[in-house]
Amino acid sequence: MSLDWIPRAPKESLLDFTTVRKDLLEKEAPPRTTYEKKPLVNPQTKETVEGLYVGYVVLDNERQGNSYDLGMLAGAACAFQLASRDPSVVAVVLTGAGDRFFCTGGNVPEYSEHMIGRPMDCQKYMQVYWDAFNAVWTSSKPFIRRVQGMSIGGGEEISGCCDLTIASDTASFGQVGPAHGSTAMGGAVQFKSVNMTIEDAVWNVVGCAEQMSAYKMLRKSYIHRVEPVLKKDGEFVRNPEVITDKWIEDGQIVYGEYKTGDELKEAKALVKTLERDTSKLDQAVDEVVWTFANLYPQQVGNSLNMIRAEKKMAWERTKAETIWWWAANAQMYGEFDMGMTGFNTAKQTGSRDADIIKLRQLLAKGRPFDAELFEEVMPKPKE
């Protein structure tokens, strides 16, 4: 019996499930977030697949280390949703413009000049973070972080919800929040305690002790894959600033550690002479995307969402507090004001840092956070 009598939509019928402002992705110049659908590529044959795409989301603000302002953050949330709900997109790649920076976090001038003293705006800002993460948590597509340069502070957070990280071997990873009056509560304190050991998470996120190389982060199972991007005499070479030719020295693990002293100086000088080529990095991204593209899409989506539950639970446990805490911490003359203002006025003062030891001493005497204390601990303008 024919089923033609049952009312159905046409076989090729698509609905638009997006609820985003696409104008956020149409800025002509940085600072901006861009979104582009690139054809799916077979990495073996280099042939493109008709009708299937990879969604590339690019944080584009090179002049300020690809730091994101509110418009860029909202743009990322929009791009994540567009890619997630587009049936022709098989995977999403998040990366930064240029080759020096992946992302250095939230835009300090915006934090220092606008957010300080505006708690309601701080609350709404964190809600935009929620929008970005939720677009990932509910997506059936793999989200791949392509780290081609420095990833630090909020750069680690907006991208921390991604499923896999593929990095160039000149990339580095770290946090600076507590050193600049902030807590890395936009994802780092939640996600790194899942991806890393608690000890490593404490050292990396709270201690702000070091910017770790891609090889060290691979060693610590924080990222999936590392590819060389430097060439000497036409051949790829590993980043000469990092120890990659041995695992142990004098009983200590040294693989992935940065060289020191004269060795580091020589390596830095060598890097300046080397050609930069991201083809192996891009090939690695294509290979990972192609692997997922050749799997049943519903099974990929279900599997990803079950695995993501660990990060999502860590985020859900604390996300409400992040809104209210940041609003409270953004009071005038508080730690956030000290950290962001110090960073933002470094050209005038010659220093990014307040005198934290003096701050602790004054607080130990019972002093309140006020304009007088603020002036005592902050660096002074150069004469």
Please state, rounded to an integer, the average pLDDT across all residues of the chain.
94
Question: 2 in a domain, yes or no?
Answer: no
User: Is 22 a residue whose pLDDT tops 80?
Assistant: yes
User: Is 54 a residue whose pLDDT tops 90?
Assistant: yes
* Pair (45, 121) in one structural domain: yes
User: Is 8 a residue whose pLDDT tops 80?
Assistant: no
Model confidence at 2, pLDDT cuts 50, 70, 90, reads confident
Question: 293 in a domain, yes or no?
Answer: yes
* Pair (353, 206) in one structural domain: no
User: Is 242 a residue whose pLDDT tops 70?
Assistant: yes
Looking at residue 6, its pLDDT comes to: 60
Residue that has been written with the tokens 């915006």 in this structure: 110
Average pLDDT estimate for 217-234: 97
Instruction: Evaluate the CA torsion angle 372, 123, 131, 71 in order and state its sign.
Output: negative
Q: Where are the alpha helices (DSSP H) in 159-197?
A: 188-195
Average pLDDT estimate for 307-332: 90
Question: 335 in a domain, yes or no?
Answer: no
The domain total for the chain is 2
Model confidence at 9, pLDDT cuts 50, 70, 90, reads low
Highest mean pLDDT out of 114-118, 225-229, 309-313: 225-229
The rounded distance, in Å, linking the Cα atoms of 359 and 249 is: 40
- Give the side-chain half-sphere CA count within 13 A for 199: 1
N- to C-terminal Cα separation, the chain: 91
User: Is 164 a residue whose pLDDT tops 80?
Assistant: yes
The rounded distance, in Å, linking the Cα atoms of 176 and 99 is: 21
The CATH number of whichever domain residue 195 belongs to comes to 3.90.226.10
Question: 333 in a domain, yes or no?
Answer: no
Eight-class DSSP state of 68: B
* Pair (368, 295) in one structural domain: no
* Pair (282, 373) in one structural domain: no
Q: Count CB-CB contacts under 10 A for residue 19.
A: 9
Q: Count CB-CB contacts under 10 A for residue 29.
A: 6
How do beta strands 150-152 and 101-103 pair? parallel
User: Is 363 a residue whose pLDDT tops 80?
Assistant: yes
* Pair (368, 312) in one structural domain: no
* Pair (355, 284) in one structural domain: no
* Pair (145, 209) in one structural domain: yes
- Give the side-chain half-sphere CA count within 13 A for 217: 30
Residue 34 buriedness (CB in 10 A; 0-12 / 13-18 / 19+) = middle
The rounded distance, in Å, linking the Cα atoms of 135 and 375 is: 42
Residues with Cβ < 8 Å from 115, sequence gap 6 or more? 121, 122, 125, 330, 340
Q: How far from chain centre, in Å, is Cα 197?
A: 19
Q: What is the phi/psi pair of residue 232, to 5°? A: -125, 125
Average pLDDT estimate for 275-284: 98
Looking at residue 284, its pLDDT comes to: 98
Question: 261 in a domain, yes or no?
Answer: no
Looking at residue 325, its pLDDT comes to: 86
User: Is 86 a residue whose pLDDT tops 80?
Assistant: yes
Average pLDDT estimate for 275-289: 98
57 closest CA partner among 93, 97, 19: 93
The rounded distance, in Å, linking the Cα atoms of 257 and 181 is: 28
Q: Which two tokens stand for residue 244?
A: 């990659």
91 closest CA partner among 133, 131, 44, 39: 39
- Give the side-chain half-sphere CA count within 13 A for 57: 29
* Pair (84, 155) in one structural domain: yes
* Pair (300, 352) in one structural domain: no
* Pair (94, 179) in one structural domain: yes
pLDDT (tens digit, 9 = 90+) per residue, 57-75?
Answer: 999 999 999 999 999 999 9
Cβ(152)–Cβ(211) below 8 Å = yes
User: Is 19 a residue whose pLDDT tops 70?
Assistant: no
Model confidence at 209, pLDDT cuts 50, 70, 90, reads confident
pLDDT (tens digit, 9 = 90+) per residue, 339-359?
Answer: 999 999 999 999 999 999 999
User: Is 326 a residue whose pLDDT tops 70?
Assistant: yes
Looking at residue 207, its pLDDT comes to: 87
Cβ(161)–Cβ(187) below 8 Å = yes
Looking at residue 210, its pLDDT comes to: 86
Residue that has been written with the tokens 């985003």 in this structure: 20
Q: Which two tokens stand for residue 29?
A: 């110049």
Residues with Cβ < 8 Å from 331, sequence gap 6 or more? 116, 117, 119, 337, 369
Residues with Cβ < 8 Å from 82, sequence gap 6 or more? 18, 20, 22, 25, 35, 55
Question: 251 in a domain, yes or no?
Answer: no
Domain that holds residue 174: 22-229+278-327
* Pair (206, 283) in one structural domain: yes
- pTM here is 0.94
The rounded distance, in Å, linking the Cα atoms of 66 and 297 is: 32
Per residue in 45-59, is it b (16+ CB within 10 Å) or e — as a string? eeeeeeebbbbbbbb
Instruction: Evaluate the CA torsion angle 200, 203, 205, 210 in order and state its sign.
Output: negative
Question: 42 in a domain, yes or no?
Answer: yes
User: C-alpha dihedral over 18, 23, 25, 29, to 10 degrees?
Assistant: 180
* Pair (307, 372) in one structural domain: no
Question: 247 in a domain, yes or no?
Answer: no
Average pLDDT estimate for 15-32: 84
Q: Which two tokens stand for residue 15?
A: 């609905």
Give the range among 37-51, 165-179, 223-237, 323-337 with minimum mean pLDDT. Answer: 323-337
Model confidence at 17, pLDDT cuts 50, 70, 90, reads low
Cβ(138)–Cβ(161) below 8 Å = no
